[in-house]
Amino acid sequence: MKAVINNSLTHYIDIGISTALPVILIHGFPFSHKMWMMPGGQTEALAGTYHVIAYDVRGHGESEVGDGLYTIEFFADDLIGLMDHLNVQQAVVVGLSMGGYIALRAMQKKPERFKGLVLCNTRADADSNESKIKRAGAIRAIKTNGPRLFAQELVKNLFAPQSLETKQNAVKLIESTIERTAPLALCGTELALASRIDSTPSLSAINIPTLVMTGELDTIAPPEINKAIKDAISNAEFFAIPKAAHLSNLENADEFNKHLVEFLQKLV
Tell me the pLDDT tens digit for each residue of 55-65: 999 999 999 99
- Report the pLDDT value the prediction gives residue 133, as an integer from 0 to 100: 98
Q: What is the pLDDT of residue 32?
A: 98
Task: Please determine, for residue 82, whether its predicted confidence score (pLDDT) is greater than 90.
Answer: yes
Closest C-alpha among 64, 60, 77 to residue 190: 60
- pLDDT, tens digit, 9 for 90 and up, residues 191-205: 999 999 999 999 999
Percent share of the chain, pLDDT over 70: 100
Position 137 pLDDT exceeds 90: yes
The average confidence (pLDDT) of the chain is 98
Q: Do residues 209 and 235 lie in contact, with contact meaning Cβ atoms separated by under 8 Å?
A: yes
User: Does residue 198 contact residue 101 with C-beta atoms inside 8 Å?
Assistant: no
Q: Distance between CA 195 and CA 22 in Å, rounded?
A: 30
Write down the pTM of the prediction.
0.98
pLDDT digits (tens, 9 = 90+) for 208-225: 999 999 999 999 999 999
SS3 of 10, please? Answer: strand
Distance between CA atoms of residues 166 and 164, nearest Å:
6
For residues 78, 81, 83, 87, the Cα torsion angle rounded to the nearest 10 degrees is -160
The confidence score (pLDDT) of residue 268 equals 80
129-166 in b/e burial notation, b at 16+ Cβ within 10 A? eeebeebeebbeebeeeebeebbeebbeebbbeebbee
For the domain made up of 2-265, give the CATH fold. Answer: Rossmann fold (3.40.50)
Band of the pLDDT at 18, cuts 50, 70, 90?
Answer: very high
DSSP secondary structure code for residue 126 in this structure: P
Q: Give me the phi and psi of 240, to 5 degrees please.
A: -95, 120
Convert the pLDDT of each residue in 21-74 to its tens digit.
999 999 999 999 999 999 999 999 999 999 999 999 999 999 999 999 999 999
